[in-house]
Amino acid sequence: MEITTDTNDTVDQLRSRLSHLLERINRLNEIGVALSVVRNADLLLETILLGAKALTNSDAGTLYTLTENQTLKFQILRTDSLNIAQGGTTGVAIKLPELPLYRNGQPNLAMVAAYTALKEQTVNIPDAYEAEGFDFSGMRAFDAAMKYRSKSFLVVPLKNHENELIGVLQLINAKDPETNEIKPFSAEDQQLAESLASQAAIALTNQRLISDLKKLFEAFIQTIATAIDEKSPYTGGHGYRVPILSEMIARAAKESELGDLKDFNPSEDEMYEIRIAAWMHDCGKVVTPEYVVDKSTKLETIYDRVHTVMTRFEVLKRDMEIAYLKERFALLAQTQSAVLSAPLWFAEHQEKLAQLEAAYQVRVAQLEADRLFIKECNVGGEYMSDESLERIKKIAEYRWVTPEGAEEPFLSENEVYNLSIRKGTLTKEERQVINNHVTVTKKMLTKLPFPRSLRRVPEIAGSHHETMNGTGYPDGLMRDEMSIPARIMAVADVFEALTASDRPYKPAKSLSASLKILGFMKKDQHIDPDLFDVFIREKIYLQYAEKYLNPTQIDDVDENKIPGYTP
């Protein structure tokens, strides 16, 4: 950096100036280090402007960023003497319009910030009121209204590593460090501001690259969720709602002092890690067959085979009716012969006809009852009794004649096996196929080169079906082997599934019924007890329900009656 000297400068004065310059260079380095670690976009912009103001000892400053519409957008605005602080982390919006780089297709060279952007060169103005070639009418109106005097301007372009303009840094009214009087920006001021602008541009570019990669990553995750949604409309909503519920539980747990939750204090990066894990927790379902995911009834495969069974009932009923009519016709023929030969037998034949009719009606009624029973069994429920299983076996023993004339058991072994599912609609083998999605999820996620801040995503996402007592899957983990975020995911996954209204195999449960089941799961050591208590005590269930459940599901909840919970 060039140091201008005067022949009248004494050695002490030169030493003082050199010392002051070294201090400013050290300050520049400190700002550069700070810029390299700031990750919040608003804070980064604020650090750039405040650092530039400190380096040049200026009273005011503005930081603009270039938009895709070829305008300069106000991002940060500061004027110390007027106590004006807008944009950045202040939360105060800047209401000034964007500065266009072109007007009616012509370069807007009259505005100093636009000029700097278009020419990509620094502008150093000792006194704006004496400057020629620029339109400072807006500045003059501001000065008149605020009783301010804008004088010296230093406007520096911000260019990225590809030498492309990304913004403009504007500093106003450099102050003498001793007298505090407004002075022009010196050559040293300009060099320091340009050096900072170079560092700032790199920091801004890195910030944008990180932000763009983050957006791309999140878009990719949501694309996977969309693919699962297209694959099965019954689980797409689940993939969207679990991240929301997980974050709600995590933020409530952060404020809790229960058990080991008192040491749970996730940073925003860790909260982001939980959110990403929640978005990806079911990514393994991309390999799960649709006929299993979408199996809404026990006999469903490509189609619901219950319709085939219902047809068999109609065949049995038809054959039963034919047999009855044949017997009736034979009896009627005998009755007519008896009347002609021996009239006293008429009463006896009439009684036989009545008995035949009664027996037929009993068989028809029983067949209809069995038909309705099988139809009901085909719908997955929470429990099937031993008596129902025995009745299915007895119905299976009926015989029917196929269209080819072969006599076969009424139900096949596979149909009996599926109809005998005690809970839900999936067989043991089909449930293993479903459960395998967690193994696939972990396998997929462990192959991804997650950054350090997301290193726990595979563990969190891959443990949402584990339980506190080691009976879960895929690894049979115990509570102390699971991270708190993984336990949070488990609670969110269960509660969303209980309250979901888009599942093919069950109707939507009410809020109170869902909490009752969740309470029993706590008592059975399936979910984390501390997280369960936080979930109820902080009324996360209600906050979630009011936004994401059908109004018909939201009934009155008596927390005193929730199993395993003590208010």
Tens of pLDDT, residues 362-411: 999 999 999 999 999 998 877 889 999 999 999 999 999 888 889 999 99
Residue 50 to residue 54: CA distance in whole angstroms? 6
What DSSP string describes 252-314? HHHT--SGGGGG----HHHHHHHHHHHHHTTGGGGGS-HHHHT--BTTBSSSBTHHHHHHHHH
Contact 64, 168 (CB under 8 A): yes
Q: Half-sphere exposure of 276 toward its Cβ, with a 13 Å CA cutoff?
A: 23
Tens of pLDDT, residues 224-276: 777 776 676 556 578 889 999 999 999 999 999 988 899 999 999 999 999 99
* Predicted confidence band of residue 143 (pLDDT cuts 50, 70, 90): very high
Tens of pLDDT, residues 57-68: 999 999 999 999
Average pLDDT over residues 536-545: 95
Helix-helix angle 236-254:268-280, to 10 degrees? 150
pLDDT greater at residue 524 or residue 354: 524
Q: How far is CA 75 from CA 85, 200, 215, 235, 510, in A?
A: 11, 14, 21, 42, 48
pLDDT confidence of residue 332 = 76
Instruction: Find tokens 């906050």 and name the residue.
Output: 543
Contact 9, 33 (CB under 8 A): no
- For residue 7, the one-letter residue type is T
pLDDT confidence of residue 566 = 84
Average pLDDT over residues 466-480: 94
Residue 446 to residue 441: CA distance in whole angstroms? 9
Burial of 49 (0-12, 13-18, 19+ CB in 10 A): buried
Would you say residue 554 has pLDDT above 90?
yes
Residues 6+ apart with CB under 8 A from 416: 392, 393, 396
Residue 209 to residue 218: CA distance in whole angstroms? 14
* Predicted confidence band of residue 195 (pLDDT cuts 50, 70, 90): confident
Residues 6+ apart with CB under 8 A from 181: 175
Residue 418 to residue 426: CA distance in whole angstroms? 8
How is residue 560 annotated by DSSP?
Answer: G
- For residue 173, the one-letter residue type is N
Token reading at 42: 């608003």
pLDDT confidence of residue 284 = 86
Contact 466, 477 (CB under 8 A): yes
Instruction: Find tokens 């429920």 and name the residue.
Output: 381
Residue 558 to residue 24: CA distance in whole angstroms? 66
Residues 6+ apart with CB under 8 A from 219: none
Average pLDDT over residues 444-460: 92
Instruction: Find tokens 């319009």 and name the residue.
Output: 97
Would you say residue 341 has pLDDT above 70?
no
- E strands, 306-434, in order: 399-401, 407-409
Q: What is the mean pLDDT of the chain?
A: 87
Would you say residue 530 has pLDDT above 90?
yes
Average pLDDT over residues 4-15: 59
Instruction: Find tokens 């170079």 and name the residue.
Output: 198
pLDDT confidence of residue 437 = 86
Contact 244, 275 (CB under 8 A): no
- For residue 25, the one-letter residue type is I
Average pLDDT over residues 536-542: 96
Average pLDDT over residues 462-485: 94
Residue 109 to residue 544: CA distance in whole angstroms? 54
Would you say residue 3 has pLDDT above 50?
no
Tens of pLDDT, residues 290-311: 778 778 888 888 788 999 999 9
Would you say residue 2 has pLDDT above 50?
no
Residues 6+ apart with CB under 8 A from 85: 77, 78, 92
Residue 468 to residue 190: CA distance in whole angstroms? 63
Token reading at 267: 């940073």
- For residue 207, the one-letter residue type is Q
Picking from 313, 398, 326, the residue whose alpha carbon sits closest to that of residue 356 is 326
Residue 526 to residue 478: CA distance in whole angstroms? 10
pLDDT confidence of residue 217 = 86
Query: 29-38, 307-316, 460-469 — which is least confidently predicted?
Result: 29-38
Alpha-carbon 373 to chain mean position:
41
Phi, psi of 372, deg, nearest 5: -65, -35
What is this structure's pTM? 0.69
Residue 462 to residue 512: CA distance in whole angstroms? 29
What DSSP string describes 10-76? -HHHHHHHHHHHHHHHHHHHHHHHHHHH---HHHHHHHHHHHHHHHHTEEEEEEEEE-TTSEEEEEE
Residue 325 to residue 16: CA distance in whole angstroms? 124
Q: How far is CA 178 from CA 57, 181, 182, 330, in A?
A: 11, 8, 11, 129
Beta-bridged to residue 61, according to DSSP, are 78, 171
- Other Cβ atoms within 10 Å of 232 Cβ, number: 18
Contact 475, 450 (CB under 8 A): no
Tens of pLDDT, residues 21-57: 566 666 666 666 665 666 677 787 788 888 889 889 9
3-state secondary structure labels for all residues of 367-436: HHHHHHHHHHHCECECCCCHHHHHHHHHHHCCEEECCCCCEEECCCHHHHHHHCCCCECCCHHHHHHHHH
Query: How would you label 309-319 residue by residue, b for 16+ Cβ within 10 Å and e otherwise?
Result: beebbeebeee
Token reading at 529: 């007890």
Tens of pLDDT, residues 69-103: 999 999 999 999 999 999 988 989 999 999 999 99
Would you say residue 329 has pLDDT above 80?
yes
- E strands, 406-545, in order: 407-409
Q: Half-sphere exposure of 145 toward its Cβ, with a 13 Å CA cutoff?
A: 6
Picking from 37, 489, 541, 491, the residue whose alpha carbon sits closest to that of residue 276 is 489
Q: What share of the chain is helix, strand, coil (3-state, %, to 5)?
A: 60, 10, 30
